[in-house]
A and B are shown apart, each in its own frame.
Chain A
């Protein structure tokens, strides 16, 4: 057994020291390994999945064409560079778990929505990237060392992305025309963001919590997201629709 496999931090729910597994450990529990692979294979940011490359290509195009000024373009380019790196990191961690290739179309419909304006792009960063802060990249408690090593960095970069999206929405909402567009498009982006959390009764959500892959289940995370995010949009003058309106998953 390597030194790293003996590394322990914190306590598990039964009060025992929390075991941290490392890449290549032979005694990773089968259920934990299966959930790790499932979580990372479903994770959108994955350069081993050609569908993510397609998404990045679309986003690069929108960032370069829709940025309203050069300073914003520079910020968006930095964001995109980090998105590419996140995909590479995820692919490398998956390879360490024995998965070299994923061919999984991106299921969440928010990623397939045509982004026609800077307002769409800003909602995408402010609301869809923000979901990653809650559900996709909260790995600081995961008992798997490769994820622990990158958790803080990736989480902070996602904070940058959604804060930038909010900043860009603020620019848009300064004009009456911009605010009108934001008030129209919120009817797609708000339910799409809430649907990103999946079904409230998902069995996998609870299993993820049990193994430390998440801290809360889908419903709790969605509630927290709503409580944090709705006031930010209202503060910009945006009329946010009811949380259950136009939803596809509850």
Chain B
């Protein structure tokens, strides 16, 4: 089993730099990707879901960085749990924007 799969949902995260992450999620019914870049005061989050009829276009969100935001993984190397933590944090961010 894909160790990052969550109930049919696979999560893959790459972190090219401490302040940058690329997240890909997929299931049998869904595929979506996000990228996150963290500045001193701002987050930029890109999102694209090619199967979403209601929002078929790629989106860019520029967001005031939430107080206490920390996207660095707790483990080195990052675990599936670290990836899961980052995905739910991004979902939380985007549902407000």
Residues of A within 8 A of B91 (CB): 156, 160, 163
In the complex, what distance in Å separates the CA atom of A78 from the CA atom of B27?
Answer: 23
Are B84 and A163 neighbours in the complex by a CB distance under 8 Å? Answer: yes
Q: Which of B52, B81, B87, B95 contacts A152 (CB 8 A)?
A: B52
Closest to A225 in B: B7
Number of interface residues of A (CB under 8 A): 34
* Majority secondary structure, A binding face: helix
B75 in the interface, Cβ–Cβ < 8 Å?
Answer: no
B3 in the interface, Cβ–Cβ < 8 Å?
Answer: yes
Number of interface residues of B (CB under 8 A): 29
A82 in the interface, Cβ–Cβ < 8 Å?
Answer: yes
Residues of A within 8 A of B29 (CB): 138, 140, 155
List residues of B (36-65) whose CB comes within 8 Å of A's CBs.
49, 51-55
Residues of B within 8 A of A170 (CB): 81, 84
Are B49 and A71 neighbours in the complex by a CB distance under 8 Å? Answer: no
List residues of A (117-169) whose CB comes within 8 Å of B's CBs.
130, 133, 138, 140, 148-150, 152-153, 155-157, 159-160, 162-164, 166-167
Could you tell me which B residues sit within 8 Å of A by CB distance? Answer: 1, 3, 5-9, 25, 27, 29-30, 32, 49, 51-55, 68, 81, 84-85, 87-89, 91-92, 95-96
